[in-house]
Chains A and B, each alone.
Chain A
Amino acid sequence: MVTEFIGMTAALKIFGVPPILTIIDVSILMISIFVHGRYWTWEKIVLLFCVLNLIYIPAILLIHPNFSDVIKGLIPILPIGGFTGDFFFFFMANIGTTIAPWMIFFQQSSVVDKGMTEKDISFGKFDTAVGAFFTVVVAIACVILTGTLLFKPGGVDIESAAQAAIAIMGSSPLVGSALAIGLFDAGLLGAMCISLASSWAMGEVFGWVHSINNKVSEAPMFYAFYFLSLFFAGLVVITPGAPLVLITLFVQVIAVTLLPAALVFLLLLRNNEEMMGKYKNTLMQNIWGFLIVFTIIIVSTLYALSVIFPEMFK
Chain B
Amino acid sequence: MSTDKMENYQEMKNMVNYVNDTSEQGRISFVLKRWRKAIYNINKKYSKLRLKMTHLVRFSLLALRLYLIMLVIILSYKFYTMVR
Contacts and interface: CB of A to CB of B under 8 A. Distances in A.
Contact of A272 (B41, B52, B74, B79): B52
B12 interface: no
A300 B77 CA distance: 14
A246 B82 contact: yes
Nearest to B53: A268
A304 B68 contact: no
A264 interface: yes
A311 interface: no
Interface stretch (B1-9, B13-21, B57-65): B57-65
Interface residues of B, number: 23
Interface residues of A, number: 26
A27 interface: no
B66 to A, nearest CB: 10
A274 B52 contact: yes
Contacts of B45: 207
A200 B61 CA distance: 24
A303 B41 CA distance: 39
- The B interface is mostly helix, strand or loop, or mixed, namely helix
A264 to B, nearest CB: 6
Best-surrounded residue of B42, B61, B68, B82 (most CB of chain A within 10 A): B68
B75 A257 contact: yes
A287 interface: no
B51 A250 contact: no
Contacts of A253: 75
Nearest to B50: A275
A304 B75 CA distance: 7
A246 B79 contact: yes
A303 B68 CA distance: 13
A206 interface: yes
B42 A205 contact: yes
A268 B75 contact: no
B28 interface: no
- The A interface is mostly helix, strand or loop, or mixed, namely helix
Interface string B8-38: 0000000000000000000000000000001
A101 B83 CA distance: 25
A304 B65 CA distance: 16
B19 to A, nearest CB: 19
Interface in A173-194: none
Nearest to A92: B75
Contacts of B57: 268
B72 A258 contact: yes
Contacts of A300: 68, 71
Nearest to B60: A264
A246 B76 CA distance: 12
A260 interface: yes
Given A254-B75, A261-B64, A300-B71, A272 B42 contact: no
Interface in A181-226: 205-207
Instruction: Rank and list the top 10 A-B pairs by shortest CB-CB distance, nearest first.
Output: A304-B74, A307-B78, A250-B79, A257-B71, A304-B71, A300-B71, A307-B74, A261-B68, A261-B65, A243-B83
26 contacts: A205-B42, A206-B38, A207-B38, A207-B41, A243-B83, A250-B75, A250-B78, A257-B72, A257-B75, A258-B68, A260-B64, A261-B64, A261-B68, A265-B51, A268-B57, A269-B51, A272-B51, A272-B52, A300-B71, A303-B75, A304-B71, A304-B75, A307-B74, A307-B75, A307-B77, A308-B74
Interface of A: 205-207, 243, 246, 250, 253-254, 257-258, 260-261, 264-265, 268-269, 272, 274-275, 297, 300-301, 303-304, 307-308
Given A268-B53, A268-B57, 6 more contacts: A207-B41, A243-B83, A246-B83, A250-B78, A269-B51, A274-B52
